[in-house]
Amino acid sequence: MDIKELIKNIEKIVPFENAFEGDNVGLVIGTEKEEVQNIIVAHDLTLELLEHCLSKEINCVIVYHPPIHNSLDFVRFDNPYTEVVAKFLSYKISVISLHTALDASSGGNADTLAELFKLDEITKFAYTNETSAAGRIGKIKQIVPANFLTEIENVLNTKVIRTNKFYAELDKINTVALLPGSGTDYLEEVITKVDVFVTGDISHHHFLLADVSKIGLVQISHIASEIPGVDKFCSELAKLIKVNLSYHKPIFYG
């Protein structure tokens, strides 16, 4: 199987057209003609991952976060911003990124979170195209705020949780919005729709905005919110292809 054939199979699960416009998904390093030996799925392209690929004869990485965000002015080995890309390129290891295509696709990261938190009457927000979106809104079985935090810790296997001040004033939680990764750009879309918004990477400014808007905000570990969906993607892809595939689960920050 070559990279072109692999991408065909990936797109049966994660159509790249479901990514936000301008998101760098698809084949970012390599050529479609390369024959795939072994595949590893990872969250980020790192030098540690490169060592792993070299030791296990892996010549294809499916990476969640795109390793190249903007146009590059140079690809130097002696620059920390481009060293990783340069090295994967020099070792001819192909790199395919999924990012928001996986978040928004049916059964992807957002749906996986909705399933884990048993959301009911689900609607979408943060649309990436006419039908796909990176966020999910829904009803949950009524819960008190303290218990909801414990549930998040258990479901996402994380201890890194911050809340805004207003969260402590909530009496009960009935409705939540979930967005894997960094979702605060979409806070205003859910502000009048839910009791609590759960996402990663929340800034001080957004905590203050949520306080005055009287919505609970829960910041979770960025990576912890993405692991369940990536895990599911690996299982789905493994059913479609015969090449050996493994998931390099990150040592994440909480």
Q: Are strands 94-97 and 26-29 parallel, antiparallel or unpaired?
A: antiparallel
Cβ closest to Fe ion, residue 94 vs residue 225 = 225
Q: Measured between alpha carbons, how far is 190 from 202 in angstroms, rounded to an integer?
A: 15
Which is it for the CA torsion 154, 158, 163, 168, positive or negative?
Answer: positive
Q: Measured between alpha carbons, how far is 179 from 177 in angstroms, rounded to an integer?
A: 7
Work out how close the CB of 100 gets to Fe ion at its nearest, in angstroms, rounded to a whole number: 9
Report if residue 228 touches Fe ion, rule: CB under 5 A: no
Contact set for Fe ion, span 98-117 (CB under 5 A)? none
- Residue 163, strand partner residues: 218
Work out how close the CB of 253 gets to Fe ion at its nearest, in angstroms, rounded to a whole number: 12
Q: Are 163 and 202 in contact (CB under 8 A)?
A: no
Total residues binding Fe ion (CB under 5 A)? 1
CA distances to 12, 71, 189, 211, 215 from 136, rounded to whole Å, are 22, 31, 11, 21, 16
Work out how close the CB of 117 gets to Fe ion at its nearest, in angstroms, rounded to a whole number: 18
Of all residues in the shown chain, the one whose CB is closest to Fe ion is 181
Could you tell me if residue 169 is left (phi over 0), alpha (psi between -120 and 50 degrees) or otherwise beta?
A: alpha
**Distance from the first to the final alpha carbon of the chain:** 37
Candidates 52-60, 117-125, 128-136, 179-187; binding stretch for Fe ion (CB under 5 A): 179-187
Kindly tell me which residue out of 66, 67, 138, 181 binds Fe ion, with binding defined by CB under 5 A. Answer: 181
Work out how close the CB of 69 gets to Fe ion at its nearest, in angstroms, rounded to a whole number: 12
Cβ closest to Fe ion, residue 67 vs residue 181 = 181
Cβ closest to Fe ion, residue 36 vs residue 133 = 133
Work out how close the CB of 21 gets to Fe ion at its nearest, in angstroms, rounded to a whole number: 17
Cβ closest to Fe ion, residue 30 vs residue 181 = 181
Q: Which residues bind Fe ion (CB under 5 A)?
A: 181
